[in-house]
Amino acid sequence: MEILNSSLIDWSRAQFALTAMYHWLFVPLTLGLGVIMAIMETIYVRTGNEQWKRTAKFWMTIFGINFAIGVATGLILEFQFGTNWSNYSWFVGDIFGAPLAIEGIVAFFMEATFISIMFFGWKRVSKKMHLAATWLTLTGATLSALWILIANAWMQYPVGMEFNPDTVRNEMNDFWAVALSPVAINKFFHTVVSSWVFGAAFVAGVAGWYILKKRDLEFAKQSMKVASVFGLLGIILTATTGDGSAYQVAQKQPMKLAAMEGLYDGQKGVGLIVVALPNPEKKKYDDGVEPYVFKIEIPKALSALGYRDFDAFVPGINDIIKGGYIDAKGVKALPFSEKQARGRKAIHALSDYQKAMKNHDTANAAKYKAILKENYSYFGYGYLNHPDQLVPNIPIVFWSFHIMVYIGGFFILFFGLLTFFSYKDKLVNSKWLLWLSIASVPLAYICTQAGWLVAEIGRQPWTIQDVLPLQAAISSLSVESVKISFFIFFILFTALLIAEIRIMLNQIKKGPGAE
């Protein structure tokens, strides 16, 4: 039974990961390209230059192709909470469902309303009205991202809730604590500005291709100038918000931070790895094998990044499991065994409370309710059997984090050079930079996917941090049904992706002159 359940969890995770990763191929381009096309249309309205109108309309067409397929994958992603993760939906649906409902009612309808004016209103409304529709479409897409990211951030840092033992559900008691949590705010800004970088890289890559082909040079140069400055601004803001993300992870999810840096044993004044080669002989967190063959690091930088103190103690994986250190809240961290005991105490108290209520034993019900409340913060640990379950896949998290950082560093240099060469009008004779622009497109895809791998794999085994692990969140489905739907989705999403690529490539080949 345990093997079957493990297989069900693995296939359900794989299906959700498949849907999320395909969906995230489209979202950042929507958010980033949306701002760029709105800027271009703004320049057209202010200058009256028809070339800027053609440029804006071209990118608007690419935006529309990408937007349509992104919506299709996003809807399937949300449905999976009810199909594959029904226990999760029951347990926290009152909280998690609120931002998703707001996203659907407000943001999505806002997008749906104004996108029609944006695409079909060029000759039907005034210039300024059309420009307003473009910006409002972008605003709707960004607000969609806001509410979805609030929901995701709550899974990473659950706040603003209270557990109701009568309904066995978590209920929201502070909406603003959920909506304005520091994790949610930072996650939103980091995701949006990194999407700006993605959109800028995409535009730069396409514009670079046109310049290499010596086609539509005025359009390409216009696009490159906007993309270079916008991308440079975006990557600077991404680095800034990335620092905020690292701080929030250190404070709220220390195991994720330890996995990001492959830190097994904590210490004061920990350095930040610049380049390292993990030791392939390291099979387990507590096997005594050295974690790296070699590493180059910035002294004390991880302590400063995570705790704003160069000499701060950063707990490693072994420290988090064994406890005994002073955590970010200033209290002594409990070992896994104690957290597990308290979690099981909370689970038993819930069961005893329900029995007492059924027997109308109010005195004992009150006693068990108090025990449950006292230990509820460790509720999820009661479902875990071994400390190994607390440790995420370290190689995936480590490499995803460092690949993301390396590519981010590349984009700082790339957009700096691109801005200089664009405004000095030297791009036509700089073929190496134009080819680099084309190569930056797949790098942008890799970077944004790596960021989400860090965020989601790094918090395993939790669907809700410390409250609900995977095995308690899953639906009672047959493994075969999940496998079948996995391959159906894989075929469907791959077909959609191929279709989008073909349509976009055809549109790019036609050029900005095609209506």
| pLDDT in the model for residue 4 | 42
Give the per-residue pLDDT at 3.
41
Token look-up 């226990």 returns 87
Q: Which residues contact 39 (CB under 8 A, 6 or more apart)?
A: 226, 230
**Please, which residues bridge with residue 468 across strands?**
464
The phi and psi torsions of 129 (rounded to 5 degrees) equal -65, -40
Whole-angstrom Cα distance, residue 314 to residue 307? 8
Structure token pair of residue 144: 């969609």
DSSP string, 215-228: -SHHHHHHHHHHHH
Q: Which residues pair with 288 in a beta bridge?
A: none
8 Å CB contact between 4 and 479: yes
> What's the rounded Cα separation, in Å, for the pair 167 and 169?
5
Between CA 73 and CA 21 the distance in angstroms is: 10
The per-residue pLDDT string of the chain (515 residues; one tens digit each, 9 = 90 and over) reads 344 456 889 999 999 999 989 888 999 999 999 999 999 999 999 999 999 999 999 999 999 988 888 877 777 887 888 888 999 999 998 898 889 888 888 777 888 788 889 989 998 999 999 999 999 999 999 999 999 999 999 999 999 999 999 999 999 999 999 999 999 999 999 999 999 999 999 999 999 999 999 999 999 999 999 999 999 999 999 999 999 999 999 999 999 999 999 999 999 999 999 999 888 888 888 888 888 998 999 999 999 999 999 999 999 999 999 999 988 788 899 999 999 999 999 999 999 999 999 999 999 999 999 999 999 999 999 999 999 999 999 999 999 999 999 999 999 999 999 999 998 888 888 999 999 999 999 999 999 999 999 999 999 899 999 999 999 999 888 899 999 999 999 999 999 899 989 999 999 999 887 65
Residue 104: Cβ-neighbour burial (10 angstroms; 0-12, 13-18, 19+): middle
3-state secondary structure 358-406: HCCCHHHHHHHHHHHHHHHHHHHHHHCCCHHHHCCCHHHHHHHHHHHHH
DSSP string, 106-139: IIIHHHHHHHHHHHH-TTTS-HHHHHHHHHHHHH
Cα–Cα distance, 482 to 485 (Å, whole number): 5
In the chain, domain spans: 2-253+399-510
Q: What is the pLDDT of residue 107?
A: 77
Give CA angle at 76 (248, 161), nearest 5°.
Answer: 40
Q: 299: helix, coil or strand? A: coil
